[in-house]
Amino acid sequence: MLRRETLEPRSSMWDFLASYLHFLRMKHDYSCAHVGKITKAARQTVSHWESGYRKPDEKQVALLDELYGTGELLATILYWAQAGHEANWYQEQVALEAIATEIRIYESGLVPGLFQTEPYARTLFTMGGSTDVEKDLRERMARKAVLSRANPPRIWALLDDNVVDRVVGSSDIMCEQLEYLIELSHMPNVVINIIPRSVGYHSGLRGSFKIFTVGREILAYTEAAAGGRLMRDPNEAERMRVRHDLLGADALSRQASRARLRQLQESMG
């Protein structure tokens, strides 16, 4: 189990990386000496990585990814640590996204960041008043490593009709975004369901949320314009999971959702 302090709001991404390296070594039952031999580092250096006193470099992290069979996961976490993003609430959900075995998403307003095309995301950052659009765009696109990593998470995304029929940027940008959603929906680990407007009011309209399965833990995350809240309490997380299930019961099937996306794409073309 991940040490709970790694998910505290004041923890940095470096703290998270250190704790996760310890978690992986314990999971595989490796000694510090063994990990050091693989990464060409001293046993004490490995211990210092896990305590946060020292930081591995990109070559060492690449060797750790190979050792633990984590694809480019550790490299992605290192990227975020080096980026030094200041929004702790955002760091939390990105960190969870990177290691979760299952991600459940409900989105009421915009295409989830993990599913955004570059032109769509660029439009959001530009219109949202970003002070460094290119930096924000690189960081968002880097998150896509989650989709192609070894053993990618199972993702079940429920998108309100508002998400997919609102033109963001231009018709061309939106058509490309809808095409990408259709492509994603064919991935074996990704399910995308559209909640039609005909459902009327539903509980999801109170706000977007995500549910992450990390090891044996289930954590829920609610989002807001200026921040978010991580729910660690098992009872709270279970209530959010039930809400996701109930919303899914009112959603279109996978095939019907693809047909809806294609219909919208044709109407915008």
Q: Are residues 119 and 216 in the same domain?
A: yes
| Token pair recorded at residue 4 | 């709970």
Q: Are residues 143 and 238 in the same domain?
A: yes
- In angstroms, rounded to a whole number, what is the distance separating the alpha carbons of residues 194 and 258? 9
Mean pLDDT within 222-250: 83
- Output the domain CATH number for residue 74: 1.10.260.40
For residues 91 and 190, the model is more confident at: 190
The reported pTM is 0.70
Q: At 12, is the pLDDT very low, low, confident or very high (cuts 50, 70, 90)?
A: low
Tens of pLDDT, residues 236-248: 889 999 999 999 9
What's the confidence (pLDDT) of residue 180? Answer: 98
- Cβ contacts of 139-145, under 8 Å, gap ≥ 24: 139/80, 139/83, 139/85, 140/113, 140/116, 142/76, 142/79, 142/80, 143/76, 143/94, 143/97, 143/98, 143/113, 143/114, 144/114, 145/71, 145/72, 145/73, 145/75, 145/76, 145/98
pLDDT at 205 over 60: yes
Last residue of a domain, one of 62, 84, 106: 84
Q: Are residues 73 and 96 in the same domain?
A: no
Q: Are residues 136 and 55 in the same domain?
A: no
For residues 11 and 147, the model is more confident at: 147
Last residue of a domain, one of 84, 107, 137: 84
Q: Which residues pair with 154 in a beta bridge?
A: 102
Q: Are residues 217 and 171 in the same domain?
A: yes
Q: Residue 83 belongs to what H/E stretch?
A: helix 73-83
Q: Are residues 37 and 103 in the same domain?
A: no
Q: Is 132 helix (H, G, I), strand (E, B) or coil?
A: coil
Q: Are residues 95 and 180 in the same domain?
A: yes
User: Rg of the Cα trace of the chain?
Assistant: 20
pLDDT at 87 over 70: no
Q: Are residues 107 and 48 in the same domain?
A: no
Tens of pLDDT, residues 133-174: 999 999 999 999 899 888 899 999 999 999 999 999 999 999
Look at the block and give the residue holding tokens 């609610």: 222
Q: Are residues 168 and 93 in the same domain?
A: yes
Give burial (CB, 10 Å; 0-12/13-18/19+) of 91. Answer: buried
For 105: left if phi > 0, alpha if psi spans -120 to 50, otherwise beta; the answer is beta
Q: Are residues 185 and 140 in the same domain?
A: yes
Structural domains in the chain (count): 2
Range of the domain at 42: 1-84
State residue 134 phi and psi, 5-degree precision. -65, -40
Last residue of a domain, one of 20, 51, 84: 84
What's the confidence (pLDDT) of residue 89? Answer: 64
pLDDT at 6 over 60: no
- Output the domain CATH number for residue 116: 3.30.870
| Token pair recorded at residue 116 | 């955004």
Q: Are residues 202 and 69 in the same domain?
A: no
Q: Residue 256 belongs to what H/E stretch?
A: helix 254-268
Q: At 91, is the pLDDT very low, low, confident or very high (cuts 50, 70, 90)?
A: confident
Tens of pLDDT, residues 41-70: 999 899 989 987 778 989 999 999 999 999
pLDDT at 192 over 80: yes
Q: Are residues 61 and 121 in the same domain?
A: no
| Token pair recorded at residue 207 | 């706000």
For 1, 205, 212, 265, the CA distances from 239, given in Å and listed in that order, are: 22, 16, 13, 35
Q: At 78, is the pLDDT very low, low, confident or very high (cuts 50, 70, 90)?
A: confident
What's the confidence (pLDDT) of residue 108? Answer: 93
